[in-house]
Amino acid sequence: MSNFWTRTITGFSLVFILLLALFFGGWVFAGVFLVITILGLWEFYGLITSDTCHPQKYYGILAGVLFYTCTMLICLVPQATSPGHRWAVFIPFLLLVPLFFITFIIEIYRNKPNPLVNIATTAFGFLYISLPFSLLIFLNRGEMLHFMGMPVILASYFGFTWIDDTVAYLFGKQFGKHKLFERISPKKTWEGSIAGAIVTLAAAVGMHYLVPEMPLADFVVLACMVLFFGTHGDLVESLLKRSLNIKDSGNILPGHGGILDRFDTMLISAPFVFLYFFIRLLI
């Protein structure tokens, strides 16, 4: 089977799973992304472990899961996310303080070389992966505006991300000539990025006509955040892989590589999407 069809089948299967998670919402959605978080953490710590870098792999995974689980419990309790208690969503961030400083204590007893590198990569791992995914739960609450059984914000966010990624890949592969950031990602082109941006913005306008209850400005801002921060999320992951001299972060997703390869755009864009709509809900 050619790489194109392998990539296509894997992509559609992943989209189907995520759409089901969005439709059922609540604990199902949170559970799916808990699995994705664990796999992403396992993948990340496995990649950076070397003769000169020994992250606290099992603690990093545990810390990431604890933070995600705390966020999940807070966000899925109706009282915690009611209009009068919206700030409760920030309670899990208090947990980051002890989780971070525990890495220093653990490192004392490990007797591994380069302790500063080990501490830094451990903390970076659970922040880089667990934090963005946990924030998505907040946007999947029951009182959010829904369309076809799915929360509009998250459905649009995923949809815009997939549209931009797919159009940029296909158009860039066929017509791309000018490299977007050759030093980091030689396959990305300006032609593909511009085509992805045009189609994604058109999709944002289309979503407003499907769901007029949500302002057009919100859809456009969401699309722009996906285009800007999502693209940079892809470049950040490419930068990390290039520094490690690897092509893919893993092989769990045939045709796509690893979990980090598939969700790299969300790792940078999700916090900004969360922040924007959290502020919008407060206004």
Q: What is the pLDDT of residues 258-272, one digit of tens each?
A: 888 889 899 999 999
At 251, the pLDDT band (50, 70, 90 cuts) reads: confident
Q: Of all residues in the chain, what percent carry a pLDDT higher than 70?
A: 91
- Tell me the average pLDDT across 69-84: 70
Beta strands in 64-220 (DSSP E): 146-147, 150-151, 179-181, 185-189
pLDDT tens profile 181-207:
777 877 788 888 899 999 999 999 999
Residue 19: its pLDDT value, please?
A: 86
Q: What is the DSSP string of 99-134?
A: HHHHHHHHHHTT--S-HHHHHHHHHHHHHHHHHHHH
Nearest CA among 233, 273, 237, 14 for reference residue 136 = 273
Residue 117: its pLDDT value, please?
A: 95
Dihedral sign for Cα atoms in the order 271, 151, 77, 64: negative
At 219, the pLDDT band (50, 70, 90 cuts) reads: very high
CB 111 within 8 A of CB 125: no
What one-character DSSP code corresponds to residue 90?
G
CB 148 within 8 A of CB 282: no
Residue 229: its pLDDT value, please?
A: 95
pLDDT at 236 over 60: yes
pLDDT at 2 over 80: no
At 218, the pLDDT band (50, 70, 90 cuts) reads: very high
CB 258 within 8 A of CB 250: yes
pLDDT tens profile 136-182:
988 887 667 777 778 899 999 999 999 999 898 888 888 867 787 77
Alpha-carbon distance of 203 to 78, in angstroms, equals 32
Residue 138: its pLDDT value, please?
A: 82
pLDDT at 38 over 80: yes
- Tell me the average pLDDT across 122-131: 94
Alpha-carbon distance of 51 to 114, in angstroms, equals 10
Residue 255: its pLDDT value, please?
A: 63
Q: What is the mean pLDDT of the chain?
A: 86
* Residue spans per domain, the chain: 1-24+145-283, 26-141
Residue 217: its pLDDT value, please?
A: 94
Residue 3: its pLDDT value, please?
A: 63
